Structure 1
């Protein structure tokens, strides 16, 4: 065993564009000096938070683990009212946290995606409240009730719902408390502030700088807690970005084109579909009713015609053969990729093309192909047994779980990824 403890900090939307600034900040600089790092971590397709985080803990691509989107398909349901893949049962393969438990070691999860009702010793999962639901009760029912109540009583006053930076401050307080009191062998935590800021203000907003500074302070608090717990010589800290983001000038509502072709229609006052595009932001899945080959043909012809027109922002239409190479969920035969500067959304409201600049709206998003330029993520591994100040080249999101397994001497079988042997001293 290289270390007895691993802390995996998911730094949502931490990408190569943030690296030059982040590496100069005191706590990140400390981690780098005592660790290995890469700014060429390739994510998975689509680059959506829940899809990527499931890959992080399983070491396999979405075509195997089954979490193909943040949300199961729910046509015509408003985004804020949609179910998400909140629960462990959505994952079709074993996870690193279960492997750790099977080796009689302890685990903790703090706002980790797709971990509701998971086999985690100390679990405060990331779930959202739908209309008429109580968020507090939902979190407790989905996680470890006594652990969750204890953290809420101690630190709940620092949180303001899901508002940032308060939510990440709360998560960090919970992490420092859990490290000191529970000393879990594996701690998974998800910090979301940077992602939120980029979405709402763009990737180049001045607020990004302030968020990077706050994040570095949070890293410092976690490192301090490791020291206070007396486990510094036995702890590896991983900081991992899950995806980048791109600024968006135009939102495109491609389902309007399918509606014009009669593939989306109203029957007896109810919305129905034969073909439907489920957006990931930077891409969209084409869902077709099973066996409806005619609808599939019409939909693809419609999308090909739209691709020839600049305003719809379609960069590529991927066939199933191409999606095999990208390890995309097997039930999808066609996927549409947006150009940088464009994003897709499901809704059927006018206009088909929404010009955000005209409306003075700042917005950025993700969900694009991981192979777009300047869209790689950041990886840092720091601690005992890890090479100091060592620059890695290209690595894959599927490499995270088997590498954690190697550190804790826990076997992760049937991974698509590899152990990053080159980081070990």
Structure 2
């Protein structure tokens, strides 16, 4: 993107509405605050995400304007075979992103930035930063946040609003995040605010994609959007602000959980030892897909693993939709370190654990679950995107857009320079264009 003179607005507020996908747009847009943004701005239900459709991967694209094969965040978690989920490290840190970000560009232009629980921003350049990090292996959560965010800023928010939160439980976590964002907008008036709200994603995972629990969270989300809009009004910056509300991925309901590493263990590619498991090949799940890792690039192991994979693909009980090899993964912009990927059919998800059963029937157990991580090419899997505010057209619709277009559009609005992006500024949303 070429350097630009002037700004279309002084402030951009980005609300990442995690798991806000096309299947819930009609319901959500009937509520007063989202309806206000839709009718006063531009929207689409055809925002295409990136592969794999996982939160940290997608949010890294949102702020860089490039696909995962360039920014380097290939999964929520680095590869950690056999580490329990609750003790796994995530890609929490800015250093995990290999390219420039929009918040770096905004800072470089002499403008101010703020982030509330935005993924992959620990130890970043964001001036007012409360990053999304989680204590593991006996760490202290408060100390971890202070070490990786802006200490005085984080401490002040904790003292004011920490009582709202109950760990990571919802709706309390998003209520806390919203209170922090409202306070920051009113006191700091940042030029770029990045807010990540997770309630809908958490609820879909636990209860499935439809039902009373989802209906209730969509109503809660609209109230939070109203709180953000009111904060902008009370800060006196409404006439100079653009709002962007967007989802990062969809979710599909799951009937069967599939444990692919069981199969590798049965064929000797994962071995049980006195100290735990040793692996020669390993499936790292994204939920709707799974990466096949080969230890040390061993060719003999790779051939053995691929023979097993071919059996898995042809056996309907495992619910495999497709095997992707590197040529297809290049087309999907999946990180170049991944050589093979399996995608699940709708109704199936892949899991990392070694268990007693290869395939678990959740319906038979009376359990509900939904997840993401499927290919962006799946039907009914696009995200919603709403943009409204200064210099934005009124009550207009967009067609297909891509997640890589978000950062260049923010750069265009704020008049900052963000080079070497894969996306484009959505100039058609601006008045006069």
Normalising by structure 2, we get a TM-score of 0.97
1:71–1:84 Cα contact (<8 Å) kept: yes
For residues 164 and 93 of structure 1, the distance between their equivalents in structure 2, rounded to whole angstroms, comes to 33
Aligned to 2:4: none
Aligned to 1:122: 128
Aligned partner of 2:426 among 413, 420, 423: 420
1:131-150 → structure 2 map (5 Å cutoff): 131-150=137-156
Aligned to 2:404: 398
SS at match of 1:290: helix
Aligned to 1:45: 51
Check if 1:68 corresponds to 2:52.
no
Note the residue ranges of structure 2 that are not aligned, 5 or more in a row.
Answer: 1-6
Check if 1:232 corresponds to 2:258.
no
Check if 1:2 corresponds to 2:16.
no
For residues 304 and 162 of structure 1, the distance between their equivalents in structure 2, rounded to whole angstroms, comes to 40
Aligned partner of 2:204 among 178, 182, 198: 198
For residues 322 and 86 of structure 2, the distance between their equivalents in structure 1, rounded to whole angstroms, comes to 29
SS at match of 2:349: strand
SS at match of 2:365: coil
User: Mean Cα displacement is larger for which, 373-382 or 304-313?
Assistant: 304-313
Q: What is the CA distance between 1:14 and its match in structure 2? A: 0.2
SS at match of 2:53: coil
Normalising by structure 1, we get a TM-score of 0.99
Aligned to 1:82: 88
For residues 248 and 14 of structure 1, the distance between their equivalents in structure 2, rounded to whole angstroms, comes to 18
1:10–1:189 Cα contact (<8 Å) kept: yes
Aligned to 2:100: 94
Aligned to 2:189: 183
1:4-403 → structure 2 map (5 Å cutoff): 4-267=10-273, 269-403=275-409
Q: What is the CA distance between 1:267 and its match in structure 2? A: 4.3
SS at match of 1:357: helix
Q: What is the CA distance between 1:291 and its match in structure 2? A: 3.0
Q: What is the CA distance between 1:266 and its match in structure 2? A: 2.9
1:284–1:336 Cα contact (<8 Å) kept: yes
How far does the alpha carbon of each residue in 1:362-419 deviate from its partner, in whole angstroms, 9 at most, with x for none? 0000010011000000000000111111110000000000000000001110001111
Note the residue ranges of structure 1 that are not aligned, 5 or more in a row.
Answer: none
Aligned to 1:410: 416
For residues 297 and 172 of structure 2, the distance between their equivalents in structure 1, rounded to whole angstroms, comes to 48
SS at match of 1:398: helix
CA-atom RMSD in angstroms:
0.8
How far does the alpha carbon of each residue in 1:236-285 deviate from its partner, in whole angstroms, 9 at most, with x for none? 01001000000000000011111112111134544211110000000000
1:198–1:205 Cα contact (<8 Å) kept: no
For residues 387 and 408 of structure 1, the distance between their equivalents in structure 2, rounded to whole angstroms, comes to 17
Runs of 4+ displaced beyond 6 Å: none
For residues 87 and 165 of structure 2, the distance between their equivalents in structure 1, rounded to whole angstroms, comes to 23
For residues 328 and 173 of structure 1, the distance between their equivalents in structure 2, rounded to whole angstroms, comes to 36
User: Mean Cα displacement is larger for which, 300-309 or 54-63?
Assistant: 300-309
* Equivalences, count: 425
For residues 175 and 427 of structure 2, the distance between their equivalents in structure 1, rounded to whole angstroms, comes to 34
How far does the alpha carbon of each residue in 1:296-355 deviate from its partner, in whole angstroms, 9 at most, with x for none? 111122111111111101100001000000000101110000000000001111100011
